[in-house]
Amino acid sequence: MKKHNYSAGPCILPQEVFEKSAQAIIDFNQSGLSLLEISHRSKDFVAVMDEARALVLELLGLEEKGYQALFLAGGASLEFLMIPYNLMKVNGKAAYLDTGTWASGAIKEAKHFGETIVVASSKPENYNHIPKNYTVPSDADYFHCTSNNTIFGTQMKSFPEVSMPLVCDMSSDIFSRSLDFSKFDIIYAGAQKNMGPAGTTLVVVKEEILGKTGRTIPGMLNYQEHISKESMYNTPPVFPVYASLLTLQWLKKLGGIAEIEKINEAKANLLYAEIDRNPLFKGVAALEDRSNMNATFVLANPEHEAKFDAMWKAAGISGIAGHRSVGGYRASMYNALPIESVQVLVDVMQELEKNI
């Protein structure tokens, strides 16, 4: 039976990425060696890293604009620490928007470095919306936000105009929609949503904002060190970088971000229309802030959960249980999820309605 993978991450990737990755593990570039055993300094892998970094900037429209793309380790959670290390001045301050669990984690790390101002938070409402009409203090060293909140199913539809560096955690919606990415000074994202397997983190940084904190930064945590070593300050996560390159190549061949955005909007519209139409279901996030990546919803009557769970499992659907901290359901519709899989979920929801 075909599986319809709604996992929130690690998540679905294009089938061709699995196939090419599997072949590379057996024999990479017809070298007679596995991708898993070659030197990261070999000509073949240096070419992978160079192409992946260049393709990131090409897809985001940031070529020739002073940006560097890095593939690092430690997950987006390590970036929570690296951002203030590299941007918050000694005796400085930073401004954060609190929109969910991961934003809260970033705020916690920043507090180790200096004054950390939360300009607005939707925590009192269980993060069911994106705060609006907040003010970012003009003397902050940077402003940090999280573009998409996987657990609660909200997504920023616009970003504030600020006078300081704008930093964004785009872990769960990078490469999914068209934005003016040049408005951001640092973008970071764990690979395991729209870009590749778990194990590497993409950081896109405008080089001119670095080196201004007045603090000593350990080499492994210093973006300038990673840039100077062309993302090979230490042994990089070879396999995740290669699989990410394959995914970026797939996206480019598909037509780039503009094309995948149309597909993602169609998928989200299909599912949200059923959530709103079907009296058995209720959406969780505020309408204007609904995420195109992670649709969160609950059953109006919890007594129907057992029946619904049995039905979606029988249909080959996987991974739609809500995050353990909130319950309910979460359908993650990342780039590689086909719209046909969304239709299967909609069909199950309609079948439940007929049988209640």
Cite the active site residues: 102, 169, 193
Cβ neighbors of 343 (< 8 A, separation 6 or more) are 270
Please report which helix (H) or strand (E) contains residue 166, including its range. strand 166-169
CA 219 – CA 68 distance, rounded (Å): 17
Smallest CA-to-CA distance from 286 within 120, 144, 122, 96 is with 122
Separation of alpha carbons 285 and 153, rounded Å: 6
Q: Which residues contact 124 (CB under 8 A, 6 or more apart)?
A: none
3 state DSSP class of 103: helix
Backbone angles phi, psi at 259, to 5 degrees: -75, -45
Amino acid at 233: Y
First CA to last CA distance, the chain: 26
Amino acid at 341: S
Does an H or E element contain 330, and which? strand 329-332
Beta bridge pairs of residue 146: 169
